[in-house]
Chain A
C-alpha cells in the first residue's frame, strides 16, 4: 500500500521527479518516488537529485534526442519573456497612473478626493485584465486537468491573503486607496510572474505516481 505523505511533500517530490527527462521518468519514476518518499528532504538531497537529473539530460542514452532539452530551454525562455512582459505592462501602468496622479494634483479639493482612487484602479486594471486573460486561456487549454485548478486556487488564495492583509492595515497605517492599489498591484504581479514561470517550466502539471502493475 502506498505510504500517505503530506500534499506539500508530495508536491516537492513530484517536482524533483520532473527534473528528469520524460523517458527516464517513465522507466524509473514510480520506484524513484517510492525511494524519495522514504528519504529525508534537505538541501543535500535536493542537490543530489538536481545533479543526477542534469546528468540524465546530458548523458543517458535512452533520452529521446534533444527534443525535451530544447522544450525545457524554450519553456525557460518563455518564462523569462513572460515575466519581462509583465514587468513592462506594470511599468507602463505605473507611469500612466503617476501621470494621472500629477494631473489630479492640479485639480481642487473634493473633485480630487473623488477622482484620485481612479488612478489606483487604473494601475490595477491592466495587470488584472492580463491576469484574467491568462486564466481564461489556461482553463480553456486544460479544462480536463483538475491539478491546474488546484494551482490557480493556491495562487488566488495568496492574492486574496495579501489583499485582506492590506485592507486590515488600512485603518491603522492610514494607507490611501492609491497606495493600497499599489500593494495589490505588487501582489498581482507576484502571482502573474509565479504562474508564468510555473506554466513555462512545469507545464502546470503535477506528476501523479501510479502504482506499479
Chain B
C-alpha cells in the first residue's frame, strides 16, 4: 500500500471528510462554503462546519492543501503538489478496491 494512502487514513474520523475536501479542491480553489456545497453535490452528504474545518485543519497541517490570500473573511484553499499526489494515490487505491469488490460480487 502506498505511504500517502496510509497517511490519509491516519486522519481518523476526519479521513473521509479530508478525502472529500481534496476531491472538491481537485478542480480549483474553493472556500469553506463552496466546498460544503460542492461536496454535497458530489457525495450527497453535507459536511457540518466542524467536520469541514476539522478536515481543513489536518490537511493544511500536513501540507496537502494551502490557503490563498483573500480580501474577505472567506479564505479559499487549494491543493498543493503533495496533496495532489496523495489524492491520486488514494483514488487509485479506491479504484483497485472497487474493481476487486465488483469482481467478487459478479462471482458470487
Residues of chain A touching chain B, judged by Cβ–Cβ distance below 8 Å, are 2, 24, 28, 30-36, 38-39, 44-45, 48-53, 55-56, 59-62, 209, 211-212
Contacts and interface: CB of A to CB of B under 8 A. Distances in A.
B57 A45 contact: no
10 contacts: A28-B57, A31-B74, A34-B32, A35-B36, A35-B53, A35-B74, A45-B48, A49-B49, A49-B50, A211-B72
Nearest to A54: B50
A50 B50 CA distance: 7
B85 to A, nearest CB: 22
Contact of B53 (A38, A50, A52, A211): A52
Interface of B: 12-14, 31-33, 36, 48-54, 56-57, 61, 70-75
Question: Which residue, B13, B32, B48, B73, has most C-beta atoms of chain A within 10 A?
Answer: B73
A51 B12 CA distance: 13
A18 to B, nearest CB: 13
Contacts of A56: 54, 57
A53 B74 CA distance: 20
A48 B75 contact: no
